[in-house]
C-alpha cells in the first residue's frame, strides 16, 4: 500500500538532491535511516579524516544512529553538548567549543525544493555551526521536511515544528506549550530567536545533506 508513496517521495527527494547540488551542497538520498547510516559510514566518513565531532539537537539525527557510530571510534574526540547533570554554564561553553570541531551533525527544520536550508533556533549553536565554524557539517532531513519555498518553510516551522519542539521539552514555559500555536511570545524560554536561510554551501561541499525517504523528526 505504501510502495507508491515511497516512489512518489523518492522522485521528490531526487529532485531536491539535484537542486542542493546546484547550490554547492553535497547531497545524498537514502531509503531508510539504516541506509542513511550506511551511506555516512561507507561513503562520507572515509573522505573526511576527522579528529573531533559534536552535534546540534536533531531527532532525525538521533534516529539514524550515526552519532553512536562516532562514539565507538576511540580516535575521535566528542564534545558532549547535551550531557545530563552538567551545569548550564558548562553546557554553553561546550557548545561554543563545538563550533570548532571537524564534523558537526544536525538536522534542518525545512529543505526547499530549490535547494535551500531553512532553520529557526533558540540558542543559535545549531544554526551557527551550519553557517560557519566546523570544517564539515552533515544535515539529516526526512521527507517531511521538504517544502516548496522559503515562505512555506517558515510557515511550517512557526505553525508546527517550533510549537511541537517546545512541547517536547517539558521543562520550558512558553505560551505555545499550552495552545500549540505560535504566540510570538516574550517568554524567557522562547525558542524562536534566530532564523537562517542557507542558500548555498560555502565552501562547496562543506555542508552535506542526507535526505531520507521516511517521515522523521519535527
Q: Over the stretch 33-78, which tens digit does the pLDDT of each residue have?
A: 999 999 999 999 999 999 999 999 999 999 999 999 999 999 999 9
Helix (H) or strand (E) holding 210: strand 207-212
Residues sharing a CB contact under 8 Å with residue 2, sequence separation 6 or more, in sequence order: none
- Structural contact between residues 55 and 63, judged by C-beta atoms closer than 8 angstroms: no
On whether the CB atoms of residues 199 and 17 are closer than 8 A, the answer is no
pTM: predicted TM-score of the whole model, two decimal places? 0.96
Helices (H), 47-195: 59-64, 66-71, 88-97, 125-131, 150-156, 162-168, 176-179
* Domain carrying residue 8: 3-212
Distance CA 25, CA 45 (A): 16
Q: 218 in a domain, yes or no?
A: no
C-alpha to C-alpha distance for 158 and 192, rounded to whole angstroms: 8
**What whole-number distance in Å separates Cα of residue 56 and Cα of residue 131?**
13
**Do the domain assignments include residue 217?**
no
**How many whole angstroms separate alpha carbon 203 and alpha carbon 63?**
28
The CATH number of the domain where 42 resides is what? Answer: 3.40.50.10420
* Count: domains in the chain: 1
Cβ atoms of 141 and 108 closer than 8 Å = yes
Summary mean pLDDT of the chain: 96
Give a yes or no: residue 138 inside a domain: yes
**pLDDT value at position 2?**
73
Rounded Cα gap, residues 122 and 199, in angstroms? 21
In a domain, 117, yes or no: yes
pLDDT in tens, 70-125: 999 999 999 999 988 999 999 999 999 999 999 999 999 999 999 999 999 999 99
Amino acid at each position: 500500500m505504501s510502495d507508491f508513496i515511497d516512489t512518489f517521495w523518492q522522485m521528490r527527494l531526487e529532485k531536491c538532491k539535484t537542486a542542493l547540488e546546484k547550490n554547492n551542497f553535497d547531497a545524498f538520498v537514502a531509503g531508510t535511516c539504516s541506509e542513511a547510516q550506511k551511506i555516512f559510514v561507507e561513503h562520507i566518513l572515509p573522505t573526511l579524516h576527522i579528529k573531533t565531532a559534536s552535534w546540534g539537537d536533531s531527532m532525525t539525527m538521533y534516529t539514524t544512529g550515526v552519532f553512536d557510530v562516532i562514539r565507538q571510534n576511540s580516535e575521535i574526540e566528542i564534545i558532549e553538548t547535551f550531557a545530563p547533570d552538567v551545569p548550564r554554564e558548562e553546557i554553553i561553553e561546550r557548545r561554543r567549543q563545538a563550533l570548532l570541531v571537524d564534523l558537526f551533525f544536525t538536522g534542518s527544520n525545512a529543505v526547499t525544493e530549490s535547494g535551500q536550508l531553512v532553520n529557526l533556533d533558540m540558542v543559535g549553536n545549531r544554526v551557527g555551526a551550519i553557517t560557519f565554524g566546523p570544517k564539515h557539517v552533515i544535515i539529516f532531513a526526512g521527507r517531511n521536511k521538504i517544502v516548496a519555498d522559503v515562505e512555506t518553510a517558515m510557515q511550517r516551522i512557526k505553525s508546527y515544528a517550533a510549537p511541537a519542539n517546545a512541547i517536547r521539552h517539558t521543562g520550558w514555559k512558553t505560551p505555545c506549550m499550552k495552545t500549540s500555536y505560535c504566540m510570538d511570545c516574550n517568554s524567557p524560554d522562547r525558542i524562536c530567536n534566530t532564523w537562517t536561510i542557507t542558500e548555498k554551501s560555502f565552501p562547496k561541499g562543506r555542508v552535506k545533506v542526507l535526505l531520507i525517504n521516511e517521515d522523521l523528526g519535527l
